[in-house]
Amino acid sequence: MSHIDSELRKISEGVFDNATLFAIEKLIGSGKINRFSGMLSRGKEANLYHGFSKEGKEIAIKVYAVETSDFRNMDKYIRGDVRFPRWKNQRHLVHLWAKKEFHNLSKIHGKVKCPEPFGVEENVLVMSFLGEKGIPAPRLKDGPLENPKDGLKKILSQVRKMYRENLVHGDLSEYNILNWNEEPWLIDFSMGVLIDNPLAEGLLRRDVHNILKYFGKLGIKKEEAEVFEWIKK
């Protein structure tokens, strides 16, 4: 694979299978990826890498794991989503999972603060990097906002905007919100569902609960039922 640079070769050893390397090659060929520069985080379902686009912009490259992903848990978030077909095998499910996050980001980018999706190929998602010079913006759990009261207001407003765009995040907490320049940015949209999904209401209640629980520890109290109804108005 002539376009894959030495850094990618070093990263990929023992990590990427051939199918993933071919997906990366396609994204390089289309200009979505120019080069990798290192790993940002490692997870059970995906690894996140830092890189650069053809235009020299910093990008985040999310590679979903095919072998170690919890496909039984993933299935319930794909099932019932009219945007995607029934999955055929575990690899196909992981590919749909990557496409799901890409479509969810595409749906709400520009309306709420979230990464901009640039491309997806099989189990590899390319999006804008939230941070600077290879250093990612901290998650709220690691870097609280200086003005948490204002931050909570902004987060709930974004949840409401998403709902108006027919989407529920589904996994929102201090782990999936970044503090970038004292602004809350939402990430990790792979579990997001459309509001007509049978899971949507329960997931929205969970999102509200998690957010208010975190800010409650900072001394900001709100009633979950009131916030829930406000979001749905």
Positions marked active-site: 171, 188
Q: Is 17 exposed, middle or buried (0-12, 13-18, 19+ CB in 10 A)?
A: middle
Which residues are registered as beta bridge partners of 183? 180
The string of DSSP codes covering 40-83 is EEE-SSEEEEEEE-TTS-EEEEEEE-SSSS-HHHHHHHHTT-TT
End-to-end CA separation in angstroms for the chain: 52
Beta strands in the chain (DSSP E): 35-42, 46-52, 58-64, 117-121, 124-128, 131-132, 135-136, 167-168, 177-180, 183-186, 193-194
**Helix, strand, coil content of the chain in percent (nearest 5):** 40, 20, 40
SS3 33: coil
Q: Which two tokens stand for residue 190?
A: 């792979």
Instruction: Check the CA dihedral 106-80-177-150 and report its sign.
Output: positive
CA 25/CA 28 separation, integer angstroms: 5
